[in-house]
Amino acid sequence: MKNLKQIFILGIVFLVLVFLTLEISLRFLVVDKLPLSIKYKIDEKEIHCYNDDLDLIQLCPNIQMRLISPLGFSYNLTTNAMGERITSNMYVAKNNQEKIDEGSGINTGVSDAVLDQSQKIDKFSHVESIPKLGIWAIGDSLTMGYGINDDESLPFLLATKGFQVRNLASDSLGSNDIYKILKSNLGKRITDPSESNQAKNQKNGADFIVWVFSRSDFYDDLKSNSKFQNFLRKQSFKLSKKIRSLIVARAILENWRIQRSSNDYNFIQKEQFVPPADNHPTLVAIKNIRKLSFDANIDPIVVLAPDWDHLNGDPELNTECFKFMKTYFTKLEFNVVDMSEFFDNRKGSELYIPNDGHPSANANKLIGIEVSRILRSLPKHQ
């Protein structure tokens, strides 16, 4: 019996030593030698923080990092002191002019190399010096600009057209998370019925919200709607921020297809769409966002872009999900921007990140041009 106890204690000591050796190695010794899939997961964990007040995961403040995905794409991501991905307004304020070319628009590098001269998508002409109307970009990875550089994201592009833009989006959010972020930023100021619409706008700093809706919300909202799953997600995230061995374990599980990556947009698109019930948490959150924006005198604009056909890389047009959501948003009086025709006309222009499915820099340019046109046609801009 005594021998068994000694063996047990020695086993525990051995496991602790193995764990400490692995953890020290992952943090200080073998970082540059790690497989790209694991290094990418560590970097992704570094750029995200847990918002205890809203009970969700968002981008961390003051991040400046180049992320290299094992799927073959890379991008730079920069956030400000509020944890919001930067827009060009901030670049101009810092006189960081290497990001802006007044003569030709945004210096987008990679995307120009991809397209030949006959396929180039027109750039935004220049940065207008005095922003007039405020835009809050809300949403998940599609709005945030997952997989593309800061200056290629939709919020950044809209800022170059003279709008004052905040990028409130973060990857892996559901519609209910998006609602909580919007409500938090609006605060209690919108509840005073005696306040004029003009005063509300001046306080809120937003005249429009722009939201690139993602089909993945139907999946993400079900997870966040479960208290048990939400508790597990929170504890798992906080532990993995401190213990890199857990990140390695998750990366291995994802490589073996035992666990799905939080940004696996390709997975969502392969799922068969079943029209949700009216009390589905995603639809409830959409209605809440509409009411919140109406009460704050903010015009809501939702962008519907065709999903990526993972079989041939082209836009997947007229899907059941797309038609359902267009009808639903129109019924709730959102300003709907349907990108189907624009994407269909640009087949072959690399509108999606290869092997991933998120909208590419070229797709964001197309969306930005059309959203800017819609914005200027609305009464607030007249």
Going through 323-368 in order, the beta strands assigned E by DSSP cover 335-338
Task: Output the average pLDDT for the chain.
Answer: 80
Residue 15 domain boundaries: 2-31
Specify the number of domains making up the chain: 2
| DSSP class per residue in 141-197 | HHHHTTTS-GGGSHHHHHHTTT-EEEE---TT--HHHHHHHHHHHHGGGGG-TTS-H
Q: In the numeric block, which tokens belong to residue 98?
A: 């290497």
pTM confidence score: 0.79
- Is the model more confident about 186 or about 242? 186
Whose structure tokens read 């809120």?
A: 204
Q: What CA–CA distance (Å, rounded) separates 73 from 88? A: 23
Share above pLDDT 70 across residues of the chain, in percent, rounded to a whole number: 73
Interval 186-206: pLDDT, tens: 984 444 445 555 444 444 579
Kindly state the average pLDDT of the residues 350-358. 92
Q: Is residue 89 part of a domain?
A: yes
- Is the model more confident about 56 or about 33? 56
Q: In the numeric block, which tokens belong to residue 330?
A: 């129109």
> Residue 172, class by beta-carbon neighbours within 10 Å (0-12 exposed, 13-18 middle, 19+ buried)?
buried
> Contact 62/175 with Cβ under 8 angstroms?
no
Residues 22, 119 within the same domain: no
What is the phi-psi region of residue 196: left when phi exceeds 0, alpha when psi lies from -120 to 50, beta otherwise? Answer: beta
Residues 203, 324 within the same domain: yes
> Contact 168/51 with Cβ under 8 angstroms?
no
Q: Judge whether residue 91 has pLDDT over 90.
A: no
Residues 227, 313 within the same domain: yes
Q: Judge whether residue 119 has pLDDT over 60.
A: no
User: Which pLDDT value is given to residue 20?
Assistant: 67
Q: What CA–CA distance (Å, rounded) separates 303 from 309? A: 18
User: Which pLDDT value is given to residue 284?
Assistant: 97
Q: Is residue 202 part of a domain?
A: yes
Listed in sequence order, the residues at least 6 apart from 209 whose beta carbon sits closer than 8 Å to its beta carbon are 135, 136, 137, 138, 182, 289, 293, 298, 299, 300, 301
In CATH, what number is assigned to the domain containing residue 280? 3.40.50.1110
Q: What CA–CA distance (Å, rounded) separates 298 from 322? A: 24
Query: Given pLDDT bands bounded at 50, 70 and 90, which one contains residue 131?
Result: very low
Q: Is residue 240 part of a domain?
A: no
Query: Given pLDDT bands bounded at 50, 70 and 90, which one contains residue 108?
Result: very low
Kindly state the average pLDDT of the residues 293-302. 95
Interval 134-179: pLDDT, tens: 999 999 999 999 999 999 999 999 999 889 999 999 998 999 999 9
Interval 202-224: pLDDT, tens: 445 799 999 999 999 998 888 77
Interval 162-173: pLDDT, tens: 899 999 999 989
